[in-house]
């Protein structure tokens, strides 16, 4: 929203202010996990239909403004509950190879890790959507196949944790075991949809039990 506020109607800005500047979940869910070439047009079209935006804004102009606002607000981003503990367990205790395969661009990842190097620094491999090796973004399997290649692990031996449907589809297409952790705002029907694609569905990362998963795989 901050990226578009100068182009929106007064009514749209007032509505956002009342909701603490939060974007509608119905729009957010459409963009989760999509690469930059796909999600900006969805937001711009939504802004015209629902927020009264009449001024034309190109995707490059939108992304430039988005990068600026993301940089300005990055200090407010918090780590999801259980994320740091889980990564630390997998890397330091279990000594497992781990990677990030994200629809974010490299520049965005670099901004995000400035405050949370204790998390990002534990990943020896980070594959972004603008990596030359990624020909197609999620839901295509390219990004997970590339992450597995760099880890020197067969994709069928990889476990994927995803919060977006496109990411779940990408992981499955790559042949990985996929655990979905839908956004807390997801409706029961949306969670059910995740269950039809992912191998498992969890409420949050604190429910992740690596030893239990290992036992299930062995049986």
Q: Which neighbouring-strand residues pair with 61?
A: none
Q: Is the distance from CB of 47 to CB of 53 less than 8 angstroms?
A: yes
**Residue 142 phi/psi, 5° resolution?**
-50, -50
Closest by CA to 184, choosing from 35, 80, 96, is 80
Q: pLDDT tens string for the chain (219 positions)?
A: 555 565 556 666 666 555 555 667 777 778 877 777 788 888 888 888 887 777 777 888 877 777 777 766 666 778 888 999 999 999 998 899 999 999 888 988 888 888 899 999 999 999 999 999 999 999 999 999 999 999 999 999 999 999 989 999 999 999 999 999 998 878 888 889 999 999 999 999 999 887 777 666 665
pTM: 0.74
Q: Which string of b and e fits 177-187 if b means at least 16 CB within 10 Å?
A: bbbbbbeeebe
Sheet holding 177-180, edge to edge: 159-162, 177-180, 200-201
Q: Is the distance from CB of 121 to CB of 109 less than 8 angstroms?
A: no
Report the 3 state secondary structure along 192-207. Answer: HHHHHHCCEECCCHHH
Instruction: For strands 177-180 and 200-201, give the pairing.
Output: parallel
């Amino acid at each position: 929203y901050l990226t578009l506020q100068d182009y929106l109607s007064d009514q749209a800005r007032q509505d956002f202010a009342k909701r603490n500047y939060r974007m509608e979940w119905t729009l957010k869910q459409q963009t989760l996990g999509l690469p930059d070439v796909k999600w900006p047009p969805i937001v711009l079209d939504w802004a015209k239909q629902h927020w009264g935006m009449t001024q034309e804004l190109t995707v490059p102009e939108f992304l430039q403004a988005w990068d600026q606002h993301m940089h300005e607000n990055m200090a407010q981003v918090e780590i999801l509950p259980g994320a740091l503990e889980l990564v630390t367990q997998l890397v330091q205790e279990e000594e497992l190879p781990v990677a990030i395969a994200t629809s974010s661009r490299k520049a965005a990842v670099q901004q995000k890790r400035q405050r949370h190097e204790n998390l990002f620094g534990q990943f020896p491999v980070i594959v972004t959507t603008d990596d030359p090796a990624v020909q197609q973004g999620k839901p295509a399997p390219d990004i997970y196949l590339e992450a597995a290649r760099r880890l020197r692990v067969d994709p069928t031996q990889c476990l994927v944790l995803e919060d977006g449907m496109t990411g779940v589809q990408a992981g499955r297409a790559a042949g990985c075991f996929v655990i979905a952790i839908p956004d807390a705002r997801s409706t029961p029907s949306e969670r059910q949809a995740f269950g039809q694609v992912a191998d498992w569905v969890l409420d949050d990362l604190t429910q992740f039990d690596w030893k239990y998963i290992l036992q299930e795989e062995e049986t």
